Chain A
Amino acid sequence: AQSVTQLDSQVPVFEEAPVELRCNYSSSVSVYLFWYVQYPNQGLQLLLKYLSGSTLVKGINGFEAEFNKSQTSFHLRKPSVHISDTAEYFCAVSETQGAQKLVFGQGTRLTINP
């Protein structure tokens, strides 16, 4: 079984400041790693994913994440945030074999202040 822990339930930052949203996972098998974003009253949209290869993954909207196997982490970063980045962010994992149902963290609410 897998589990995902998002260490911060809320992160307030000022516009144009950098941000890091933290994610740690636990799994006894090999996993894929994902970050999804959820805007108010909308479904989940994939930001980026780590499948294999380079541990630094770049996604949409200027976000990137780094996979650290030894620390079982997959933190999300953006060097300069915008008001439009205000949303809920979910880290998720799925097994590399089988149906790949997603196991999500509890989410981090990112609030951008002007």
Chain B
Amino acid sequence: GAGVSQSPRYKVAKRGQDVALRCDPISGHVSLFWYQQALGQGPEFLTYFQNEAQLDKSGLPSDRFFAERPEGSVSTLKIQRTQQEDSAVYLCASSPRGTTNTEAFFGQGTRLTVV
């Protein structure tokens, strides 16, 4: 497709359940970012990939959060043992280059609700 695609759009998880969120970036884009957007807040950086290499994971809130991009295209954000505070919209963005990026293209996000 022409844009960044995220699935599922909505996910309801019971507390303690593991979830996996998928991001299909724009074809050929080198950089991929994950952000977390809590209700009423701006997005906050979670992690960054350049191709398959995870170069920055400083924003991951705990070791329950794990992201991968094994072939340098599709990425998965996994959250283990979900907690209520994990409820948020998870946004994926991609950029065409590894550095000197001047525009990030965002997907529509996955809204995760932990009950």
Contact = CB atoms under 8 A, between A and B. Distances in A.
Interface of A: 4, 6, 32, 36, 41-46, 49, 51, 90, 92, 94, 96-107
A106 B37 CA distance: 10
Interface string B26-46: 000001010100001111110
B75 interface: no
Contacts of B93: 44, 102
B103 A46 contact: yes
Contacts, number: 65
B56 interface: yes
A99 B55 contact: yes
Contacts of B42: 4, 6, 90, 92, 104-107
Interface string B50-71: 1000011000000000000000
Interface of B: 4, 31, 33, 35, 40-45, 48, 50, 55-56, 91, 93, 95, 98-104, 106-109
Nearest to B98: A99
Given A43-B106, A51-B102, A101 B43 contact: no
B108 A42 contact: yes
Given A94-B101, A98-B99, 17 more contacts: A36-B106, A49-B102, A51-B102, A90-B42, A92-B42, A97-B100, A99-B31, A99-B48, A99-B56, A100-B100, A100-B101, A100-B104, A101-B56, A104-B42, A105-B42, A106-B41, A107-B42
